[in-house]
Structure 1
Amino acid sequence: MHLRNRFLIVFTLSACAGVGFIATPGWADLQKYVGKPEAAFEWKLKSKIDGEQAGDRIYDLQFVSQIWQENKWQHQLQVYLPRSVAPNSTMFLWVTGGSARAEYIAMGMELARKIRAPVAFLYHVPNQPLLEGNLREDDLIAETFVRYLKTKDENWPLLFPMVKSVVKAMDVLQAFGKKEWSEPIDKFIVAGASKRGWTTWLTAAVDQRIKAIAPVVIDTLNMRAQMPRQLQAFGDYSSRLTPYSNRGLLPIPETPEGERLLSMVDPWAYRDRLTMPKLIVNGTNDFYWATDALNLYWDGIPADKWVLYVPNAGHNLRRQDRPQPDQLNDLINGLAAFSRHQITGTSMPKLSWKHETVNGNLRLSIAATPAPTGARLWIAQTPTMDFRTAGWSEHKVSLTDGRIVAEMPPPDKGHLAFFGELDYEIDGLRYHLSTQVRMTEALGNRQ
């Protein structure tokens, strides 16, 4: 069986608090928390495991990152080294929850082969269940937000210890590299999905070892604007945000404490510090976020930045228009190619685009250097502004010297959404990059 047949990657909801006023950026509080000495910090190499393919090696490490609210946070950390790959001074680090299992190990090995460098997976972020009621995931995050709002204790928001877990994992990996390989690991490319993508954004704001980031399916920066957009698109908040709405966190109370909470946990408040290369990965059918949520923060985050939309894919980024073994190809190849660019120093493509209306038609103009090897539009049409169950179809476009100009009439009825997709290749690895999504409606729908 092909290894990808065994990928059952499920990205849990990384829903976040809603809307409120954003105060002075809270990075100093996060920096202080991350920098606080941890007497419990320790690590060990538990075992070296042979991989499924001859010569592959898995290093299984364990470490304690911190004591948080009287709970010792313990983690599994695995390093995947295929036979054909040598240690590198830059390492890709994927942040996830739970423990290592076969499908994650297969994904790690495939990423390492395609990146041509060792890959690390950090597990148990966050440690859970915790607190009264043995809370997990978003129920746990929501509870810590409520406790912060009640106590004003800035150690409560769960994102702080989640970030520290990543920081301590990098400490461990650097020590491991020196001890096991006699090779320094100086920089990291950090990625994670959902709430681990949220953690990726925040960690990058406070740790200069991070060379680049790839936050996945956490399409909710600028939270004060995102929640009203959900009401506009869906008529309500996403049902996936119920752990927060049930606790009175949608919207976040418009109080000094609520304002402060957003400044600590919304990556938008840290955007001036997020100057490293960024690949943002979203699914077109993610039930947690509005389809055009990126447009509420794209212009406000600094370059260098790229976006990859996976068409016909939800929160788990599995393309439903492909056979099961190939459903994660867009994600894996995108992460690997982005990392390969960073490690080799090969420039990413330079893209610019413009959505506009010309003579009543919808126009998307794209300029790309170097020219892509292929390009297309992805288009969906629905009766309402909710595109989460829409089918996206591929439409050919003409490509001339790296320039694309595509036009279409507005919809006769209902609503239409579309974006451009470009094909690229690095070291034989094919991948896609996207433009922003534009959503529009029939003229008769407009007030």
Structure 2
Amino acid sequence: MATAANGARRSRLIHLMTIVTVAFLTTTIAVVLTVVILRNNILNVQSGGMQNVADSSTTMPAGGRPTLESLSTTAPSTSSSDESGGIDYNQVLRNYCEEADSNYSYTLLPEYTLQGLAKNVTTFVLNMTSQAWSHPDAVGERHIWWHYLAITIPNDIVYEDAALVFITDGVNTDSPPDPSSDTDILSAIQLAEGLGMVVATLFQVPNQPIRFTSDSSGRDRVEDAIIAYTMREFYTKAPDQPRLLLQVPMTKSVVRAMDTVSSFASSKINRFYLTGLSKRGWAAWLTAAVDDRVVGVMPQVFDLLSIKENMRHYYRSLQGWTFALADYYRENLTANLDEPLLELAVEVIDPIEYKDELLMPKYIILSGNDEFFLPDNTHYFLNELKGVTFVRFHPNVGHNNAQRRTFILQEIQGFVTNVEENWSFPEISWSRSSNETHGEINMETDQTPLKVTAYKALTTNNEGRRDFRLHVLSVQRPVPSFVMYEEINVTQSNNMFVAVTETPDSGWACFFIEAEYEAAKGRVLRVTSEVNIIPDIFPFESCMGQDCHGTLV
């Protein structure tokens, strides 16, 4: 779960309001009229018009941040009850996302409209208020969630009823993003041009920083520190308030982004693809589970499904917790794996709880050296998922997968185009096996791949951990582990591919097979098997109760 430092690529300055002169007002009106005419010309040609249902119901200063005077202080209810008065935790998320909220609105920031960087697209920047969450007495001004939303519209739209939403981070002191330089918007421009589809970039998921009035530390919390705090509060004080869990408003912010895309870009858009990294990938999973408009989901670097089973598997692998989970460790959540209330939280926030709803095509993008998640996490949930489901491991990259972005954008285009063109996806199956001398992966496919490769990495630590992270904790700071994947031989017999790795004399080996296929319209799709880790044993016993508190490694 990437830290808020990832949002440092954008300025932290808030635009100050200046005295409005007649000349400035005249210029502003001219800019607004120009942008509106430009947008209408683009959309009327391509999709027969555009509907805008909430253009300026919230007062915005120049920087786009809602003024406190314009925000409703009416708090939403904090639970979802059935007719008997009990809480149906499995319906909390859907009910909250479907619940109307008078705070929802959006406003175009015309001075940030960009046309010309990529001649075939126009990018509009909006300020969107997604919801009122929690109560102002609990979180202050952060009970109203607002976001920058950049909507990139290609001139040549191929799929007029579909759009892609890229969920990303940011803090609520950011200036509006500059489409000419923001990395995430530049990726969206590339996707919009390549796919011929509207692509939106949703920022500030979650809204942050948040200072909870009940938080004795007085911290301005960001990212995982917010999630960990809301989970602890749910366990210890508010099990009847599942909407307190941060994943709930994060999910609704994505739902509202989809609403805004349909309203602002074209009312014809009623099908969506979602992608996001880390906790934004978590939000993509959960939104796909509760919103029927999602037709494809591509979560990146988030595979903590079957949360309880996977957390126990962490401990058996590391005899502790990766340093990346420090915020959860500090809130003592690792000592609560046997807490009955965890079951209630799981019903709300664990994507595997929605496996019967997650039937759309799924492309799970993972890192072989992730500092947050272990490479064999998929062993605890993948077989339970239904429908078209692919895994794509990237070798030699950690939780921050930016260095693989070129490949990822290329593969997302292949996956989305396959779905849109009703292209036949390859049917792939594999088996993992091992004995005292070696391990194998046997992968069979009904389509002949363009290319097949296998990768292997060996553990390098001396502490006996089953550990393939790119960085590990040493003297209270992360340092490189020097765990690297290298290519290994793959044998082929027709469309059966076999990778074999010798059992190491000490430590563990992790390996997987990668296959590249032709996709629709000459694109490519790369998929992998799950990893096989040998020897197939864990170095440590499972933990129980307070013993699970452990240590950071």
Q: TM-score range by the shorter chain?
A: 0.7 to 0.9
Describe how 1:85-164 pairs up with structure 2 within 5 A: 85-86=157-158, 88-98=160-170, 100-101=177-178, 102=181, 103-132=183-212, 133-149=219-235, 150-152=237-239, 153-164=241-252
1:168 paired to 2:256 = yes
Q: Percent identity?
A: 27
Question: 1:373 Cα shift?
Answer: 0.5
What displacement does 1:82 show? 4.0
Corresponding position: 1:32 with 2:126: no
CA separation of 1:141 and 1:51: change in aligned 2, threshold 3 A: farther
SS at match of 2:441: strand
- Quote the RMSD (CA, aligned, Å): 2.5
- Report the more deviating stretch, 264-273 or 284-293: 264-273
Q: Which of 528, 534, 540 is the matching residue for 1:440?
A: 534
**In 2, Cα distance between the equivalents of 1:402 and 1:269?**
35
Q: Name the residue aligned to 1:19.
A: none
Q: How does 1:68-83 map to 2 (within 5 A)?
A: 68-69=133-134, 70=136, 71-83=143-155
Deviation of 1:442 (Å): 9.1
Shift of 1:90: 1.2
Please tell me whether residue 378 in structure 1 is matched to residue 473 in structure 2.
Answer: no
- The equivalent residue for 2:499 is 406
Shift, 1:410, TM fit: 2.2
Q: Map Cα deviations across residues 290-341 of structure 1 (whole Å, 9 max, x no partner).
A: 221111111122222000001001011145xxxxxxx422221222211111
Change (3 A) 1:11 1:312: farther
Distance verdict in 2 for CA 1:343–1:10, change over 3 Å = farther
TM-score by length of 2: 0.71
Distance 1:11 1:49, change over 3 A: closer
* Alpha carbons of structure 1 residues 290 and 25: separation in structure 2 relative to 1, 3 Å: farther
AA of the residue aligned to 2:443: I
- Residues in 2 aligned to 1:87 and 1:437: alpha-carbon distance in whole angstroms: 35
CA deviation profile, 1:106-141 (whole Å, cap 9, x unmatched): 111112233232211111111111133321111111
Cα pair distance change 1:229/1:148, threshold 3 Å: same
Could you say if the C-alpha distance between residues 337 and 442 of structure 1 is closer, same or farther in structure 2, counting changes exceeding 3 Å? Answer: closer
Is 1:363 the counterpart of 2:440? The answer is: yes
What TM-score do you get using the length of structure 1 for normalisation? 0.87
CA distance in structure 2 between the aligned counterparts of 1:344 and 1:442, rounded to whole angstroms:
41
Tell me, yes or no, if structure 1 residue 331 matches structure 2 residue 396.
no
Aligned to 1:44: 107
Note the alpha carbon deviations across 1:147-179, whole angstroms, 9 max, x for none.
22212222211111110001111111111233x
Asked whether the equivalents of residues 25 and 269 of structure 1 are also in contact (C-alpha less than 8 Å), the reply is no
- CA pair 112-271 structure 1, distance change in 2 beyond 3 A: same
Q: Within 5 A, what are the aligned runs for 1:42-441?
A: 42-47=105-110, 48-69=113-134, 70=136, 71-86=143-158, 88-98=160-170, 100-101=177-178, 102=181, 103-132=183-212, 133-149=219-235, 150-152=237-239, 153-178=241-266, 184-252=268-336, 254-319=338-403, 327-357=404-434, 360-383=437-460, 384-388=465-469, 389=481, 390-426=483-519, 427-441=521-535
SS of aligned partner of 2:397: coil
> Helix, strand or coil for the counterpart of 1:273?
coil
Shift of 1:92: 1.2
8 Å Cα contact 1:27/1:205 also seen in 2: no
Quote the offset at 1:419 in angstroms.
0.3
The number of equivalent residue pairs is 416
In 2, Cα distance between equivalents of 1:338 and 1:419? 20
- SS for the counterpart of 2:188 is helix
- How much does 1:407 deviate? 2.8
Alpha-carbon distance in 2 for matches of 1:56, 1:350: 35
Worse-matched range after superposition: 32-41 or 77-86:
77-86
Equivalent-residue separation in structure 1 for 2:318 and 2:115 (angstroms): 49
Is the 8 Å Cα contact of residues 43 and 172 (structure 1) preserved in structure 2? yes
Measured against aligned partners, the alpha-carbon deviations of 1:259-296 in whole angstroms (never above 9, x if no partner) come to 21122111122222211111111101111112211111
Letter aligned with residue 104 of structure 1: D
Cα distance, 1:53–1:29 mapped onto 2, change above 3 Å:
closer
Question: 1:148, 1:316 → 2: CA distance?
Answer: 29
More strand by share: 1
Moved more, 152-161 or 359-368: 359-368
Please say if residues 116 and 340 of structure 1, whose CA atoms lie closer than 8 Å, have aligned partners that are also in contact.
no
SS at the partner of 2:356? helix
Which ranges of structure 2 fall in alignment gaps of 5 or more residues? 9-86, 137-142, 171-175, 213-218, 470-480, 542-553
- Cα distance in 2, alignment partners of residues 433 and 114 from structure 1: 20
Tell me: higher relative CO, structure 1 or 2? Use CA pairs within 8 A at least 6 residues apart: 1
Query: Structure 1: which amino acid aligns with 2:531?
Result: V
Question: Unpaired segments of 5 or more residues in structure 1?
Answer: 1-8, 13-23, 320-326
Mean Cα displacement is larger for which, 229-238 or 431-440? 229-238
Cα distance change on mapping 1:173 and 1:446 into 2, 3 Å: closer
Contact 1:112/1:118 (<8 A) preserved? yes
Residue 436 of structure 1 aligns with an amino acid whose one-letter code is E
**1: CA distance, partners of 2:89 / 2:410:** 34
- Secondary structure at 1:413 match in 2: coil
- Higher alpha-carbon Rg: 2
